[in-house]
Chains A and B, each alone.
Chain A
Amino acid sequence: MPEYESFVGLDVWTMIFAWGNLIILFLFLKKILFKPLLNIIETRQKQIKDMYDEAQNEKDSAAAMRAEYEAKLADAAAQGEEIIKNAVSRAHRQEETIVREANETAQKTLKRAEEQVEMERKKALNQLKDEVSGMAVDIASAVIEKNLTEEDNTEIVDRFIGQLGTPE
């Protein structure tokens, strides 16, 4: 014959078992379920945060490196330009020097050549003069020896004397 508790009534042992079960379940869930699971969630959140921080760091350092390289590149370009400019201006200077020197040399050479030519001409002229005057004397003496008449001689001598008399 089964006995029944009243429909609305407190039974001390049922209450005690309800408490006991609740406390046991609480401790069990805390140890088996909640603590490990919350730990895992916390660890994961920490890992994600670390990953984000790391990524941010990487990004920052990458940006810094990029800025550095860009600066270096710009520097290199400027340096290259400078070098080319220097080279060009040096080349210009050298060119000018070379042309000037060449001009000077050429002028010197020309002058010397002209002087030489002049000297040679004078020398030749003098020689010619000498020869011509000699030849003239020879011819004159030859002409005089053969062709001159008395009057001619006189005339020549007179003219000569006249010339002598009138200074230049």
Chain B
Amino acid sequence: MNGPKILWTIPIFGGVTITQTTLTSWIATALIMLCAWLLSRNLSVDKPSKKQVVLEKLVGMLSGMVESTMGKHNMRFLPYIGALFMSSLVGTLLGMTNILRSSTADISTTAAWALATTALCWYGGIKTNGFLGWLKGFTEPVAVMTPMNIVSEIANPISMSFRHFGNIAGGAVLTSLVYSALASLSAFLLQWIPNAFLNSIPIFQLGIPAFLSIYFDLFSGFVQALVFSMLTMVYVGSAFPPKEETN
């Protein structure tokens, strides 16, 4: 399986590459924006429409998750977590169209998001403890642990990005393998048909991959989006402790 196809190369800054991933990312962003805009029109306090009730339910679930994981003082991260979750979910699900390639099946995307999480954590650590206090935090609980702490700090974004990327890309690889396997199966079983057109139809590709897709795209996409957002919440939340605990 190939990496994302480079669709265009804009000849500025030494060649800006627009890959399938970027295209999917744009489309996903635009779709989420459109949905958000359509859903959040005509909001009402006392007479909520059906779509507003659904929207409030969803946002309520997300905000409950953010509040329980990050604490009430970190509720300003709610839109960021929402944007991250929706980008991941929609970016993954767009791969099901087979026209677009899942934006999360590219390590560049997940690494960018994981690095954003790390950057937020560092910002929070420096803001809370000061730059020296943040550096000192690496030597805790004992100075011997310093290399471990640094490795863990580097390992976090790597593990996050590879987990997400690996799940989605692996699912895509597996699905394509199953597709080609089913095509071979069709060709093998249908070869007795003396018609060259009819025995070239990969009939077993119809329907069967859908079950795999339910797991690898729908379920895995949702779980990975949830896991990635949850990890971001946990890491960033611990970097921004409540005001009382700040020294």
Contact = CB atoms under 8 A, between A and B. Distances in A.
B84 A22 contact: yes
Interface in B138-168: 165
A161 interface: no
Interface string B63-99: 1000000000000001110111011000000000000
Contact of B21 (A2, A14, A24, A47): A14
A168 B82 CA distance: 151
Interface stretch (A34-42, A103-111, A147-155): A34-42
Interface in A9-53: 9-11, 13-19, 21-22, 24-26, 28-30, 32-34, 36-38, 40-41, 43-44, 47
Interface of A: 2-11, 13-19, 21-22, 24-26, 28-30, 32-34, 36-38, 40-41, 43-44, 47
B106 A25 contact: no
A11 B165 CA distance: 14
B188 interface: no
Interface residues on B, range: 35 or more
Nearest to B105: A7
Nearest to B16: A13
Contacts of A10: 107-108, 111
A5 B25 CA distance: 16
B118 interface: no
A32 B108 contact: no
B169 A7 contact: yes
A14 B106 contact: yes
- Lowest 5 A-B CB distances belong to which pairs? A14-B108, A30-B79, A18-B112, A5-B3, A15-B112
Which one of A15, A25, A37 has the highest number of Cβ atoms from chain B below 10 Å of its Cβ? A25
B5 A4 contact: yes
